Structure 1
Amino acid sequence: MTFPLPVLSLGARNVCELLFIFGLITYLNFVSVPNDYHKSKVLVPEVEPQTNFNHVVFGLLGSEKALHDRKHYIESWWRPNVTRGVFYLDKAPTGDLMPWSDASPPFRVSDDLTKFLQETKARRPKNIRMVHGIMELVRDMRDANLRWVVMGDDDSIFFVENIIDILGGFDHRKYYYIGGRSEFIMANYWYSFNQGFGGAGFILSYPLAKALASDMENCLRRYAQFFTSDTMTMSCIADIGVNLSPHKGFHQIDLHGDLSGFLSSHPKSPLLSLHHLGTVKPIFPGMDTHQSIRHLMEAATADQSRMLQQTICYHRQSNWSLSISWGYSAHIYEQIMPRSHLQRPLETFKPWKARPSRPLYMFDTRLLSNNSCYEPHVFFFEKVDKVSMGIFTTYSRARTRGLPPCSLTSQYKPDLISQITVVSPPTKRKEKDRCECCDVVGVGGTGTSVEVKLRECGLNEVIA
């Protein structure tokens, strides 16, 4: 019950008595209220769990015909009973695809869109199926815990731990469309600089995916004459009021030829995906494409956070610059070269389609040279050993450089180096705003090996 406050005359009561009575009434009012009322006012903030594998679902699209060759791509990164998702095929698998492997995601046959395609007279029916797959995934994977939807092709390699880590920095309750542009500048010009190229994969926050799914058929009717599924997806998302949030870790690989220069100077962003590896030369010498992918994933299994991350350091005594692309390659240059120069990829590759004039790419490049002081000695990832004290990656020379020394007077002979060992901390990288630093801690007594140790850079450290 509530006790009414009495009407008192200040002239009839001493001020102290008035204060006492007022305090007593306040106390009685408080204790008369049920305990549950006070408990309900004590709000304990709910701590939301960090984004993890359970919060992310993959939607992969491919054809049954191509899968006989491409299943090796998927099985290289898919983690049974850990990663979640569905593989949508144009028809039920046959032949050597059956029985279906537990190393692949569960499959479903895409919805039959024959009637819809006849109504819309779609320019490219395959594109309609791929965009419609977003709606099918949202329908088939209803789960209150889902936060993110990742869409990709069957010939893409995903680095799932890195994807989980970068998504932890976004608010999954908002609308996000995250993806990467093409490396070939004209592909962006032809289609859009504001679209995520879907072969490399793109990510939708779950609320955006649901909004997109709810109006999917109307949107596909609006854009049925578009040439690519990526442009359709971008347009449907733009109609909701959302634009692309670009991320440099997605790689469409709209390139041809030798990809080593590109992979040896990865931008300072976690590696998220690699697409079109079947259209370039195998990324490791002496291996075919499937062997190369499995070999790359050996390093990724040890530490995804450092995959392809470029670290540059110097050996002043020999006047060498060393550039490490973790898990892929190591370069020795016979002179001190600034980081800003070494961060530009060597143009070992060619554009997706021939073009008579520059610019060709969406990034800076360095042209190959026959100058001994500018051309690197190249070593490729050979093996990885993970122990309690650190991760040891070994890089071996694939071939002789075939050029004379940069300096005839130097006592150090890089042509004799056959192996580089890189020691990195056993824990994954936490700092994403800056590259790591490294020290050359040993040049072998026989002159055939080099050891490099990675570390976090000092607060104000400048290495030049």
Structure 2
Amino acid sequence: MSSSIAAINLSSIQQKLQHVSHGTLCKSIAISGLVLFFFYTFLYNNPYNHSSDLFMSFVEHKSPATSVDITNSPTNISHIMFVLVGCIRTWKYRRPYTEAWWRENVTRGNIWLDLPPTEDLLPWPSMSPPFQVNEDITKLKVYPKLVNPVEVRIYRSILDTFRLGDNKDVRWYVMADDDTLFFVDNLVEVLGKYDHTKYHYIGTNSESIKSNYDFSFEMGYGGAGYALSYALVEELVTKMDGCIERYPHLWVSDYLSSSCSADLGVDLTIEKGIHQIDLRGDISGLLSSHPKSPLLTLHHFDAVEPIFPAKDRFESINHLMKPAKFDQSRVLQQTICYHRQSNWTFSISWGYSAHVYESIFPRSILRRPLETFASWKRGRPPLFMFNTRWPSIDPCVAPHVFFLETVDRSSEEGDLVVSIYTRSSTRNMPACSLNGNHSADTISRIQVSSPAIGRKEAGRIECCDVEYETGKEVASVKLRTCMKGEILA
């Protein structure tokens, strides 16, 4: 009844407005607006009218035009928005790192630059991510107080990306440098474990204790790459510049990102497959004993030696991506098995290397990386965030080392992927006398067969069997599912 009276009064007012002169139109509009205000106030306070509940529900739950798709469909590559950051000075040298994994017309995102591309970078190649130029941060009122404006530009690339408006169905924003190598199939699988409609900040620490101490143990390193759920980004972008004003003294974008997320109550979730590579020199020892987590990223290639002998850095990256095209789920996954007749241990880092030890070593030992690398910064031990093994000149401890040569699909013995690993150099040591003097010097190649269909289950190791005849040049290793209760020792 009350609603009807209000409707009649509103109709009467509208009829009177039709007869006002042009000179009083603005005043009439103001009066009409005031009446409408009282009308909706009346409806909202009417205990018998439920339309107000529907209206408020619409206001509270209406998503913006760029909202995330919150369906229960599995996460796929189209749900990931890559926010890659570089600059004109470095992009010309680092472009091959990104192009090694970027999938034209498949992966989404941009490479953000500090300035428009120079003539030597044009025409822009289609195999590179589309470029964008960051907003001029000198317009920020806090700019004169910023300790490191470049790092603020890097962090605000998230905001710049969001403002482009191409956010349809985006579930994750993934931030990284222009020299970061991604394994996108593994990334899709790992991010699919998390609810993108909740606040999530996923990344990793540095391998260097000192780096974490200098900055933060709660920080996801941006070079290694970190992922922010859409729900978190949607909240961050409305408060980002305010957060920058709160922390003008922070030196690096990664720490700024961590601080802004922390102030929203969100802490870092660590995924072990993300790698900052704050190391120097030969990192083959680390890559040959990768955690059982899927490999997601590798970073800092310019700071380490090429990861394959006799290849430069770019050739090495492209060589590693060859097995990744067959099966990313197994790349760098360590598999250990034994040739009991010779007392040998085989350690396979699929798609990268193979080690043969002339002794029986349990997995609990071999999962520790050989310390072939040096620390990122000088300091006193401990230097690394993980345990290592010291290289040895003991023939019972030092491995014979082989690196990936080829990988291909084979149907001769079923549908398999066959990878071949060749000896990198002679070991120049006698045989291990403690285990029967069974020298592995005669082996020049190791052939590894793995299933061609289906991904390896994340978080689980595989076992293997070795076939080898004494004196032969080739040893064959077949990967398989571990039997229940099988002990690798």
Q: Which TM-score band applies after superposition, normalised by the shorter structure?
A: 0.7 to 0.9
- Whether the aligned pair in 2 keeps the contact of 1:306 and 1:428 (CA below 8 Å) is no
Q: Work out which of the residue numbers 419, 437, 442 in structure 1 matches 2:445.
A: 419
Deviations 1:81-100 (A, max 9, x none): 11111111001112432110
Alignment partners' CA distance in 2, 1:428 and 1:256: 35
RMSD (Å) for aligned C-alpha atoms: 1.5
The answer to whether the Cα contact below 8 Å between 1:413 and 1:447 also exists between their aligned partners in 2 is: no
Per-residue displacement from partner, 1:161-211 (whole Å, max 9, x unpaired)?
100011111111111000011001111111111110000100000110111
2:353 match: 329
Paired residues of 2:336 and 2:488 also in contact (CA < 8 A): no
AA at the equivalent of 1:449: V
Report the 3-state secondary structure (helix = DSSP H, G, I; strand = E; otherwise coil) of the residue aligned with 1:215. Answer: helix
| 8 Å contact kept, 1:120–1:224 | no
Q: What is the alpha-carbon distance in structure 2 between the residues aligned to residue 430 and residue 341 of structure 1?
A: 23
1:422–1:454 CA contact under 8 A, matched in 2: yes
* 2:290 paired residue number: 266
**Number of the residue aligned with 1:109:** 133
CA contact (8 A) 1:59 1:86 kept: yes
Q: 2:463 aligns with which of 418, 429, 437?
A: 437
Task: Report the equivalent of 2:392.
Answer: 369
CA distance in 2, matches of 1:243, 1:408: 51
Q: Secondary structure at the match of 1:77?
A: coil
Instruction: Tell me: CA distance 1:337–1:154, structure 2 relative to 1, closer, same or farther (3 Å).
Output: same
Kept in 2: contact 1:194–1:244 (CA 8 A): yes
Mapped to 2, the partners of 1:444 and 1:461 lie a distance apart of 25
Amino acid at match of 2:472: G
Is 1:276 paired with 2:300? yes
Instruction: Output the amino acid matched with 1:459.
Output: K
Cross-structure match for 1:399? 425
Distance 2:390 2:456 in 1: 33
Where does 1:10-409 land on structure 2 (aligned, <5 Å)? Answer: 48-116=72-140, 119-355=143-379, 357-388=380-411, 389-407=415-433
Letter in 2 for 1:418: S
TM-score of the two chains, using structure 2 as the length reference: 0.83
Please list the CA deviations of residues 47-94 of structure 1 after superposition, one character each: whole Å capped at 9, or x if unmatched. 722100111110000011111100000100000011111111001112
User: For residues 51 and 256 of structure 1, what CA distance do their matches in structure 2 show?
Assistant: 36
* Aligned-residue offset at 1:119: 4.0
Residue by residue over 1:109-154, the C-alpha shift from the partner in whole angstroms, topping out at 9 and shown as x without a partner, is: 1111112166442001101101111111122144331111100000
Take 2:446 and 2:97, find their aligned partners in 1: how far apart are those partners? 29
Q: Which amino acid aligns with 2:321?
A: M
In 2, the alpha carbon distance for the partners of 1:153 and 1:322 equals: 35
Counterpart Cα distance in 1 of 2:74 and 2:484: 28
Q: Do the aligned residues in 1 keep the contact of 2:448 with 2:479 (CA within 8 Å)?
A: yes
- AA paired with 1:425? P
Alignment check: 8 A CA contact 2:358 2:438 kept: no
Q: Matched residues, percent identical?
A: 51
Q: 1:119 to 1:346 in 2, by over 3 A?
A: closer
**Equivalent residue number for residue 463 of structure 1:** 488
Q: AA paired with 1:71?
A: R
Cα distance change on mapping 1:158 and 1:345 into 2, 3 Å: same
Determine the C-alpha separation between the residues in 2 that align with 1:372 and 1:141: 61
Secondary structure of the corresponding residue to residue 280 of structure 2: strand
Unaligned runs of 5+ in 2: 1-69
Which range moves more in the overlay, 109-118 or 365-374?
A: 109-118
Q: Is the 8 A contact 2:294 2:459 kept in 1?
A: no
Change over 3 Å in CA distance of 1:119–1:188 after alignment to 2:
closer
* Contact 1:120–1:221 under 8 Å retained in 2: no
CA contact under 8 A between 1:305 and 1:428: conserved in structure 2? no
| Structure 1 counterpart SS, 2:152 | helix
3-state SS of 1:415 partner:
coil
The TM-score with structure 1 as length reference comes to 0.87
**Structure 1: how far apart are the matches of 2:286 and 2:470?**
33
Q: CA deviation at 1:304?
A: 0.5
Residue 266 (structure 1) shift: 0.4
Quickly say closer, same or farther: Cα 1:63–1:47, change in 2 above 3 A.
Answer: closer
Contact 2:369 2:387 in 1 (8 A): yes
- Distance across 2 between alignment mates of 1:50 and 1:438: 31
Q: How many residues align?
A: 417
C-alpha spacing 1:75/1:141, structure 2 compared with 1 (3 Å): farther
